[in-house]
Structure 1
Amino acid sequence: MVSRRAFLAGSGAVTVGGLGVVPGFLSTAQAAVSSTSGSPARLLPVFNRPRHLDYGDVSKLSGGDQTLLTTLQGIVNRTEPELYFLYDTGTVSVPDAKWLADMHLPTKLYKNPLDLVAKYRGRIRGAIVHDPAVPDSLNVATTLAGLENAVVADADQAKAHGLKIVKDLRGMFDDDRVKTYRWQLDNLFPKVTHKLLAGLPPTRVVDVEGVQWQEIARETQQIRDSSNRGTYDLDVSPKLGKEAVYVRFADSFTDDGWGASVLSVSVKANGTEIAHFLPNTPEEAPYLFDGSHSSIGGENNRFADGGNYWIYRFEPPAGTTSLVVTVEMWNQYLVSATDTSPTRIEPFAYFRDYVVATKALVSWLPPGGATGDLLIEHYAKYPTLAPYMGWFANDVSGEWDGVDLASKGGSPVVAADFYMNGTVHAGFTAPISDKPRPVRRIDKPKNKVYLTLTFGEGDNIQYCQRRLREIWDDPKRGQVPTNWTISPLLAETGPGIYSYFQRTASSNDLLVCGPSGGGYTYPGSWKPAELTEYLKMTGGFMRRTGLDVVYAYSSRQDDKWILLSPEIAGGYAEYTPTKGIMQTWDGDPLTVRQGGLPITGQWGAPGKAAEFKAALDQRIANWDGASPLFISGGIGAWSWTPSDMAELGALLGDPYELILANSFYDLLNRVL
């Protein structure tokens, strides 16, 4: 049977055949649409539309069992999506369950999802067995699973489910990450898809239930200027008695981004020093139990903001009765301790269905040093515009360096490491309008402060799938004009998701293109000819999804964002339908015309409504009121909700006028 699916192109739905080497995917020739056809070329592989879904709740399964099922899902759903899993359960705002209900498809619930292995065993050749002693072997196993029509399992799982071992990776690799992924690139690259490459962590840190934390120290004031910087003695002796003591550093005010920051650590057991180190050094490594949720600052300090944290593990000598941790620390710290291991390491299962189904190469290469050099080699082998899907190691620094390397290599980034059921969402079609939102035109501008506010993170398709859905369903959404960044690539990775936001938007909600267009990127880092290709692709996706404003980055210089060049801004003006550009910015107020487009620096403030309003008042303190003032502001998508926006809107009386971004840039185009 020839597989088929409908995908949205412009304002009409075009049915295309899914012929080719991989069932369900367009061949290169089929994806390359002629310039006269009126339809954009396909960027990512096509999936068939699901007709019936077997589903189960996998939220309580181990990471190993989740990996077994998601790789099974990738093989099965490659031909036609038939498997769907619920990863988050127990609340009224669970996105997985909501998206499943929205599809209105026939479904069958499997109370034990692992029963699906037996049901679909005939669709797979067997198992690729990874080596638990070498975490990165799980990524190699995932790549091989896609190529061999197999699932990823450990030896015990393969035996328990009666799976033939197709390839056994135990003993094949050691802990040399570069050597492991070098083997994969050399041996598997010729066989994998070249439409995308993936980056996924091989393991995840999972919280252990029932761990009791005792608070040791807390900053009770909202200090953001390091004025409380000092040396603090943290007595964690009450947690002595077991093998080790775990000390967690977190943020005492989680909604404003100025959490604990530590520059040095020493530990004394019964008065004798047993540890002394600085963050981000080899000396720290033996004690850093979980640093994946923290970042490194400019002084080489370790910090964690919002809901993030890091944990040190100290194992004192037997008989220790006094354990004191001395730290140089500042800002809004919250320190707690426990005597129980608070986390465990498990395989990272998410997004592997999409990787396996598309036969993609998946690695995990921190973007610095030898691993960064190998990542550069990956980009060089792939064609321009092949997206890097997943994420990067090393949190914020990894993001900046990783996206910069991807940009230099001609690959837009799609943050997708927590994008669940991607093979189903990519296949489920729904109407997407190509008509931009009509502008509420301000014909005669007044001497006001015209303000437009935008929720960020929309380039991140997992955010669109999860957090955005949660806050979008806030009943107070629509009370005040609000912009929402979103990825136009959802037209191919999640048409139903994009359609939901588009069709349920109120007259006060405007979808805008997330940074910096068709995928997260830094335009200033691209080669000019390749950037032109990116901007043309972005323009096609924006027109296809009815977007006419873009939020963009530029590139960093001396640890600061610089203004988009006239050439880059002119490229946006020529190849995309954007009315203006919101640009990430950390300098003085910015409102300029560049390359024929108005560009405004995106400004933000810590805290919630009252603090945001106070910061706005301070920002306009020197405004003389003799002419209009324009401010483009960013809203923290992980901490704010529409209820917070409604609270802020109630505070914004004269001289402020809060408007949508299309009206904002329409007005700027006429007065700037």
Structure 2
Amino acid sequence: MKGRFILLGSLVVVAAAAVTAYFAWPAKSEGVHWPEGQALPTFEEPASTLDLMYTTDNFYYQAEDASFAHKTGKADGDGWLAAAGSDAPNVPMLDITDQTNIPAGENKAIVNMQVDSFANENGVVAKLEVLDQEAGMTLASLDVSNWDFKLPNASQSFELPFTVPEGGHSLEFRVQWTGKSTLKLFDVGISWALRKEENLVFTSLKGVVNKTQPRLYAFTDNVNGSTGTSWLASLGLAYKEEKDNWKLLDKYRSEVKGIVVYDDSQPDTVNLATTIAGLKDGIVAPPALVEKLTGDPYNLPILEDLRGDFTSKLEVYEFMLSNYWPKVTHRVIIGLDPSLKSYLRDYAMNLTAAVVWLNPKEPKESELLDKFLTDMPYGSGLYMGWWPDEGEGVKKTSDFGLATVASDYSSNLSVFSGTSREITVPELPKKPPLENKIYVSFILSDGDNLQYMEHSFKKFWDTPDRGEVPLGWTVSPLMVDTMPGILNFLYKTATPNDALISGPSGMGYTYPNFWKDGEGLDNFVTRTNDYMSRAGLRVLTIWNYVKGEITPEAANRFAEHAPSLLGFTSQFGTGKIEVYKNELPGQELNVSYGSTEGDLTNGIEAAIKKWDGKSPAFVAIQANPWQVSYQNFVNARDHYLSNTDVVFVRPDTYFQLVRESKGLPIEPNSSTK
């Protein structure tokens, strides 16, 4: 169904200076639907078959791709495996032929593979070759020996520099296996000088094309195994792979109005060019590709040429503030490092948003940034992307009544934002009887980060033994707008031990202690409650710096304006529980951001030592997903299997038990326990 959106009922409280800019931006721009009360827009339903393009720093050939020749071995999940003693030796385990999309000039092949064990004697495991099929010559060759690998069962990269002659010769990439050791081949990556700049061209092409209807999907990392399309498969979205991105410019050329050229000598003109391209339906062009883009067959006109116009970073953003900030939305601003070429820029263009990179730690940059932020709606505006410094950046937006949405490596928000907004939330499981036990709740952090949800989270969620231990998975309430299909998929595939809860601090990452306007914070909390209710989230994590307690004044506002919450956690690390306005329990986490399995068990051990056994005790432990694995949670739980006094529960159940222990109804606004 096209044109789907939900109009939220929460009030919008904005600073007077922001009113005109906030409401001046149209509620609909082509295929982007952005009702007044909605935090982020809804896009049209994605095309029945998406065009999949690669915007990785390297161009990858996946080893298990069935279209390539394999003379030995077999597919093995995310690679191709040749087993010593059983598979035929001295033949290609991968042979990629007739490749014409590699540009002329200096290039590099990067082959990623691993051996299962080290041999007692060194010897050649594989021969890597790059061949010019038309000239009948070898462009590069490398013998890889067993002892060239630093560790067994760990992926390692081997590089082959090679030069492609002019004229577009067909190339062949071959991995010859000797049979000496079991070898797993993951992929062959190709890099060339203009690869990142080309990726910027096609990322901005996606910004033009997907504004009308999402039709382009970008594979921007090599994490998800064979295709990098794991979410598409989960959502039932079909795609057609296109290995030559320039063919996509051929296909969608009629939708592009022209190019905006940035200045290599002033990197921040990349952000200015992105902002202008979003307004003018252009694509962002590096100087090195201007001749190609303006010549046959594309013949794209130059919409604006920024070369030589600026002598400093501040000049770039002062020009943006004066000339383009009045023309773009003020509901969202994008913070993006100019060196990031393949991420989020398309979404910024879809929203017609300004893209900046200003550091609050630098006085002049901070002063200029203030001029942008003061024009944004207090209590509802969002800063998407990221910061040069996390603490200073989030503090800055908090000072202006805004929230940060970590998303600088997001790749496909336009596609995900067009998926169905029908979210079916399962009922909470019945809580166990409250006893004199030590109740433990584990929480996995960082789900407020939209790029994490798009990329690394999926591998965590796909862990085969998920459901072994009760766990709170933090997600963003903004998934209602940006990833509704994924949110619904999580509920459909969740086990009874999986609880989705809100990451910091509701409608974005903010430090409530630093908000200067109480009415604006009330609005933020009201919107948070609204979106959390739509997303089925009953528990909130609130951050005030990475390890910061929440003030009673701020906590009371959550108690008053977020009536659906069962409870919230904060970051101070004491385990202390308070009840605010006799309605809402909040707990300072016992472990605020654990990084090892020991952090999980140490938090429990500390509670056991303090417990007198005469009343319930509550231990809330949060860990980060970058250093702690799902198995660490399982192992920590298993450590206490023989101790019947330690009970593991999901966070929503946990706060129901906390509420009961404090004499509160287990359901807010309910008279029965």
TM-score by length of 2: 0.70
Which one-letter code corresponds to 1:415 in the other structure?
Answer: A
Matches within 5 A, 1:146-165: 146-162=278-294, 163-165=300-302
Show the counterpart of 2:369.
375
Decide which moves more: 621-630 or 363-372.
621-630
In structure 2, C-alpha distance between the alignment counterparts of 1:421 and 1:592, rounded to whole Å? 40
Question: How far is 1:525 from its partner?
Answer: 1.4
Going from structure 1 to structure 2, the CA distance change for 1:570 and 1:188 (only over 3 Å counts) comes to closer
Work out the number of aligned pairs and report it: 497
Show the counterpart of 2:576.
590
Show the counterpart of 1:428.
419
Q: 1:518 aligns with which of 507, 510, 521?
A: 507
Matched, 1:549 2:539: yes
Show the counterpart of 2:334.
198
Are the equivalent residues in 1 in contact too, given 2:5–2:33 (CA < 8 A)? no
Show the counterpart of 1:226.
none
Q: What do the CA deviations read for 1:592-637 (whole angstroms, capped 9, x no partner)? A: 2123211111232755335632443134323222221111110121
Matched, 1:652 2:640: yes
Query: Aligned to 1:138, what secondary structure does the other structure show?
Result: helix
Going from structure 1 to structure 2, the CA distance change for 1:67 and 1:572 (only over 3 Å counts) comes to farther
Q: 2:234 aligns with which of 87, 99, 102?
A: 102
Q: 1:442 aligns with which of 403, 428, 432?
A: 432
Are the equivalent residues in 1 in contact too, given 2:410–2:454 (CA < 8 A)? yes
Q: 1:50 aligns with which of 33, 40, 46?
A: 46
Are the equivalent residues in 2 in contact too, given 1:416–1:461 (CA < 8 A)? yes
Query: Aligned to 1:68, what secondary structure does the other structure show?
Result: helix
Q: 2:208 aligns with which of 49, 72, 75?
A: 75
Are the equivalent residues in 2 in contact too, given 1:489–1:541 (CA < 8 A)? yes
Show the counterpart of 1:578.
565
Show the counterpart of 1:351.
344
Are the equivalent residues in 2 in contact too, given 1:448–1:625 (CA < 8 A)? yes
Matched, 1:25 2:32: yes
Question: How far is 1:572 from its partner?
Answer: 3.7
Show the counterpart of 1:392.
387
Show the counterpart of 2:488.
499
Show the counterpart of 1:415.
406
Going from structure 1 to structure 2, the CA distance change for 1:119 and 1:501 (only over 3 Å counts) comes to same
Q: 1:629 aligns with which of 611, 614, 617?
A: 617
Show the counterpart of 2:259.
127
Query: Aligned to 1:582, what secondary structure does the other structure show?
Result: strand
Q: What do the CA deviations read for 1:397-438 (whole angstroms, capped 9, x no partner)? A: x111111111121211111101111111111225312x4641
Going from structure 1 to structure 2, the CA distance change for 1:531 and 1:607 (only over 3 Å counts) comes to closer
Q: What do the CA deviations read for 1:30-67 (whole angstroms, capped 9, x no partner)? A: x24xxxxxxxx312122111123111223225221111
In structure 1, C-alpha distance between the alignment counterparts of 2:332 and 2:595, rounded to whole Å? 38
In structure 1, C-alpha distance between the alignment counterparts of 2:414 and 2:235, rounded to whole Å? 14
Are the equivalent residues in 2 in contact too, given 1:126–1:164 (CA < 8 A)? yes
Matches within 5 A, 1:459-538: 459-526=448-515, 527-538=517-528
Gap runs ≥5 in structure 2: 9-24, 60-194, 295-299, 663-673
Going from structure 1 to structure 2, the CA distance change for 1:495 and 1:560 (only over 3 Å counts) comes to closer
Query: Aligned to 2:659, what secondary structure does the other structure show?
Result: helix
Query: Aligned to 2:291, what secondary structure does the other structure show?
Result: helix
Q: What do the CA deviations read for 1:372-420 (whole angstroms, capped 9, x no partner)? A: 1222221111122121110001xxxx11111111112121111110111
In structure 2, C-alpha distance between the alignment counterparts of 1:464 and 1:9, rounded to whole Å? 25
Which one-letter code corresponds to 2:522 in the other structure?
Answer: T
In structure 2, C-alpha distance between the alignment counterparts of 1:167 and 1:20, rounded to whole Å? 27
In structure 2, C-alpha distance between the alignment counterparts of 1:658 and 1:172, rounded to whole Å? 61
Are the equivalent residues in 2 in contact too, given 1:127–1:167 (CA < 8 A)? yes
Q: What do the CA deviations read for 1:480-509 (whole angstroms, capped 9, x no partner)? A: 100011001011111122122121111000
Query: Aligned to 1:621, what secondary structure does the other structure show?
Result: helix
Q: What do the CA deviations read for 1:102-155 (whole angstroms, capped 9, x no partner)? A: 333343221212221122111111110001111101000000000111000112
Are the equivalent residues in 2 in contact too, given 1:81–1:423 (CA < 8 A)? yes
In structure 1, C-alpha distance between the alignment counterparts of 2:659 and 2:43, rounded to whole Å? 41
Question: How far is 1:642 from its partner?
Answer: 1.9
In structure 1, C-alpha distance between the alignment counterparts of 2:237 and 2:577, rounded to whole Å? 48
Following superposition, which runs of at least 4 residues in structure 1 exceed 6 angstroms of deviation?
A: none
TM-score by length of 1: 0.71
Are the equivalent residues in 2 in contact too, given 1:539–1:577 (CA < 8 A)? yes
Show the counterpart of 2:657.
667
In structure 2, C-alpha distance between the alignment counterparts of 1:573 and 1:476, rounded to whole Å? 39
Q: What do the CA deviations read for 1:159-185 (whole angstroms, capped 9, x no partner)? A: 2133321111011112x2222211111
Decide which moves more: 83-92 or 564-573.
564-573
Q: Percent identity?
A: 30
Which one-letter code corresponds to 2:498 in the other structure?
Answer: D
Q: What do the CA deviations read for 1:504-558 (whole angstroms, capped 9, x no partner)? A: 11100000011111111111112211101101111110111111111112x35xx
Give RMSD over aligned pairs. Answer: 2.2
Structure ID, larger Rg: 2
Which one-letter code corresponds to 2:333 in the other structure?
Answer: L
Going from structure 1 to structure 2, the CA distance change for 1:640 and 1:9 (only over 3 Å counts) comes to farther
